[in-house]
């Protein structure tokens, strides 16, 4: 299938030109084959483009209709249009030079009148996507099912109080898993958009959570049966569209996975703006997941300090990117996950090039973050300073305590022997300045 160049004709392949370039359609720091910390830059990130924001979203908001002209919506036949959309997507992906994309089932193909028709629509598009993947080398980082747009899911999908709706959700996840496996998807995501409640008064929370556990085990079993080898991922978010979402944050999801015996198959997909909605920092949820060996993938975006909702801005904050890359470098990286730009251009960004600027900015921010993080970890006193704070647990009774070998009575005896500890500064300002010292 020849790659077309009709949807973004003004843009050529984006190339690395270095920090000195003034070409806004070039990378300043993302030099995909440059070796950093032992591997090419592109393998540190495994960047992905989110199909829904980039190719489906007309940028409407609750106050106004879409502003974005999507030239691939040129037919009156919806199936023809999703085929054009796929062409446009692969033109964009190859010009940008990202290795991956991510989709919801409904981004690829619309729902039909019956489950059978819906499955057929998806199959047709999956076959076409497979050809595009083969022609371009672009791969699927993860697939997912959209279990939140259709009105039937207004009270939830897996946690809906009506069993009939749960069955529809299951049929949808089955088809989305089939599609993901057919396309060689490396992960499969569950984002529980409406798995939560609007009012606790009409909700049996424990019953709904148990249903979610049963649903996820059934999905896991089906996925493994059809040969899916990748990670299942849960993407935490505390609220929106529901008032309370069950997958509130990384810590809550880890507890849920343990309760429902899902830790062998599931990891977490951490999204920056979801972590901040939960009143954490992005790095908090990434660190928590990474330290428990459960960091599966990242949805890279950014909220807004002035308001509380999920703005899905493209990431441009270098300080944040440095922190995230420090965590990834210290915890063995993000593979087999990646960094998916679950982000959208603004409603008033209406030129076709804006989508390129947005992604180039995000990729360069993380590339620069990686270079700085690598320097901090290798050349500065950062690790010594941090680990030094815990030195009293490295040997002797501190080590025994950490291994669970000392009783409360024995600890009391040590307290008497040890006397009062010296005051030790946590040096927070020094740590903060250290990051800035390397941002140069």
Catalytic residues: 104, 107
107 binds ligand XUL, rule: CB under 6 A = no
144 binds ligand XUL, rule: CB under 6 A = yes
Nearer to ligand XUL, 161 or 241 (CB): 241
Among 178, 208, 271, 320, binds Co ion (CB under 5 A): 271
Q: CB-based contacts of 404: which residues, under 8 Å, 6+ apart?
A: none
Q: Which does 237 bind (CB under 5 to 8 A by kind): ligand XUL, Co ion, none?
A: ligand XUL
| Residue of closest CB approach to ligand XUL | 191
Among 105, 299, 364, 374, binds ligand XUL (CB under 6 A): 299
Q: Which does 310 bind (CB under 5 to 8 A by kind): Co ion, ligand XUL, none?
A: ligand XUL
Nearer to ligand XUL, 271 or 285 (CB): 271
- For residue 314, the 8-state DSSP code is P
Distance of CA 228 to the CA centre of its chain: 19
Q: Binding to ligand XUL (CB under 6 A): which residues in 301-320?
A: 310
Distance of CA 118 to the CA centre of its chain: 27
Contact 195, 246 (CB under 8 A): yes
If you compute the radius of gyration of the chain from its CA atoms, what whole number of angstroms results?
Answer: 24
Q: Beta-carbon neighbour count of residue 128 at 10 Å?
A: 18
Q: Binding to Co ion (CB under 5 A): which residues in 287-326?
A: 299
Each residue 149-188 as x (binds Co ion by CB under 5 A) or -, in order, gives ----------------------------------------
Instruction: Compute the least distance from the CB of residue 237 to ligand XUL, in Å.
Output: 6
Among 31, 91, 249, 342, binds ligand XUL (CB under 6 A): 342
Nearer to ligand XUL, 28 or 59 (CB): 59
Instruction: Compute the least distance from the CB of residue 145 to ligand XUL, in Å.
Output: 8
Nearer to Co ion, 73 or 311 (CB): 311
Q: How far is CA 40 from each of CA 31, 337, 340, 371, rounded to the nearest angstrom?
A: 9, 16, 18, 12
Which phi and psi angles does 40 have, rounded to 5°?
-60, 145
Total residues contacting Co ion by CB under 5 A comes to 3
Spatial distance between the Cα atoms of 365 and 319, rounded to a whole number of angstroms: 9
Instruction: Compute the least distance from the CB of residue 390 to Co ion, in Å.
Output: 34
- For residue 180, the 8-state DSSP code is H
Q: CB-based contacts of 222: which residues, under 8 Å, 6+ apart?
A: 173, 174, 177
Among 249, 342, 364, 374, binds Co ion (CB under 5 A): 342
Total residues contacting ligand XUL by CB under 6 A comes to 10
Contact 314, 303 (CB under 8 A): no
Nearer to Co ion, 32 or 271 (CB): 271
Name residue 339's beta-bridge partners.
298
Instruction: Compute the least distance from the CB of residue 271 to Co ion, in Å.
Output: 4
Nearer to ligand XUL, 178 or 342 (CB): 342
Contact 275, 285 (CB under 8 A): yes
Q: Which does 344 bind (CB under 5 to 8 A by kind): Co ion, ligand XUL, none?
A: none
Q: CB-based contacts of 198: which residues, under 8 Å, 6+ apart?
A: 242, 243
Contact 247, 234 (CB under 8 A): yes
Instruction: Compute the least distance from the CB of residue 273 to Co ion, in Å.
Output: 8
Q: CB-based contacts of 436: which residues, under 8 Å, 6+ apart?
A: 319
Spatial distance between the Cα atoms of 272 and 295, rounded to a whole number of angstroms: 13
Instruction: Compute the least distance from the CB of residue 435 to ligand XUL, in Å.
Output: 27
Instruction: Compute the least distance from the CB of residue 373 to ligand XUL, in Å.
Output: 25
Q: C-alpha angle 359/364/370, rounded to 5°?
A: 130
Contact 176, 102 (CB under 8 A): no
Q: C-alpha angle 352/96/131, rounded to 5°?
A: 100
Query: Which residue in this structure is represented by tokens 């502003």?
Result: 67
235 binds ligand XUL, rule: CB under 6 A = yes
Tokens of 18: 């270095």
To 10 degrees, what angle do helices 205-225 and 250-259 make? 70
Whether the CA torsion 284, 286, 290, 296 is positive or negative: it is positive
Among 42, 46, 68, 237, binds ligand XUL (CB under 6 A): 237
Each residue 378-417 as x (binds ligand XUL by CB under 6 A) or -, in order, gives ----------------------------------------
Instruction: Compute the least distance from the CB of residue 299 to ligand XUL, in Å.
Output: 5
Site of interaction with Co ion (CB under 5 A): 271, 299, 342
Site of interaction with ligand XUL (CB under 6 A): 104, 144, 189, 191, 235, 237, 271, 299, 310, 342
């Amino acid at each position: 299938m020849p790659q077309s160049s009709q949807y973004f004709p003004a843009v050529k392949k984006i190339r690395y030109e270095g920090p000195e370039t003034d070409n806004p359609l070039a990378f300043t720091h993302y030099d995909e084959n440059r070796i950093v910390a032992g591997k090419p830059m592109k393998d540190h990130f495994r960047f992905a483009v989110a199909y829904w924001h980039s190719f489906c979203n007309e940028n409407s908001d609750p106050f106004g209709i879409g502003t974005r002209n999507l030239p691939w919506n040129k037919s009156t036949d919806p199936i023809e249009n999703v085929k054009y959309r796929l062409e446009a997507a692969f033109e964009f992906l190859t010009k940008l030079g990202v290795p991956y994309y991510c989709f919801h089932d409904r981004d690829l193909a619309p729902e039909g009148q019956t489950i059978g028709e819906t499955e057929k629509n998806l199959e047709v598009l999956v076959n076409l996507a497979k050809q595009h993947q083969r022609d371009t080398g672009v791969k699927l980082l993860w697939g997912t099912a959209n279990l939140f747009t259709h009105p039937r899911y207004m009270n939830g999908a897996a946690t809906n109080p009506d069993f009939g709706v749960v069955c529809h959700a299951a049929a949808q996840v089955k088809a989305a898993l089939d599609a993901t496996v057919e396309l060689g998807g490396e992960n499969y995501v569950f984002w529980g958009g409406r798995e939560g409640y609007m009012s606790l008064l009409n909700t049996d929370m424990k019953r709904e959570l148990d249903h979610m556990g049963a649903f996820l085990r059934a999905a896991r079993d089906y996925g493994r049966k059809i040969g899916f080898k990748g990670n299942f991922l849960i993407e935490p978010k505390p609220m929106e569209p529901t008032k309370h979402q069950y997958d509130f944050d990384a810590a809550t999801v880890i507890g849920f996975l343990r309760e429902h015996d899902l830790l062998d198959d599931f990891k977490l997909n951490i999204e920056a703006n979801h972590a901040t909605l939960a009143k954490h920092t992005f790095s908090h949820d990434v660190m928590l997941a990474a330290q428990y060996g459960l960091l599966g993938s990242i949805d890279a975006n950014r909220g807004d300090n002035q308001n509380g909702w999920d703005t899905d801005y493209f990431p441009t904050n270098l300080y944040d990117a440095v922190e995230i890359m420090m965590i990834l470098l210290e915890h063995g990286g993000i593979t087999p996950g990646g960094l998916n730009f679950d982000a959208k251009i603004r409603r008033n960004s209406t030129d076709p090039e804006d989508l390129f600027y947005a992604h180039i900015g995000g990729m360069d921010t993380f590339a620069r973050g990686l270079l700085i993080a690598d320097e901090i970890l290798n050349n500065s006193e950062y690790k010594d300073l941090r680990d030094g704070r815990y030195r009293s647990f490295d040997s002797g009774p501190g080590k025994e305590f950490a291994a669970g070998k000392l009783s409360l009575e024995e600890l009391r005896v040590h307290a008497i022997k040890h006397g009062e500890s010296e005051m030790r500064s946590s040096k927070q300002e020094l740590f903060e300045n250290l990051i800035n010292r390397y941002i140069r």
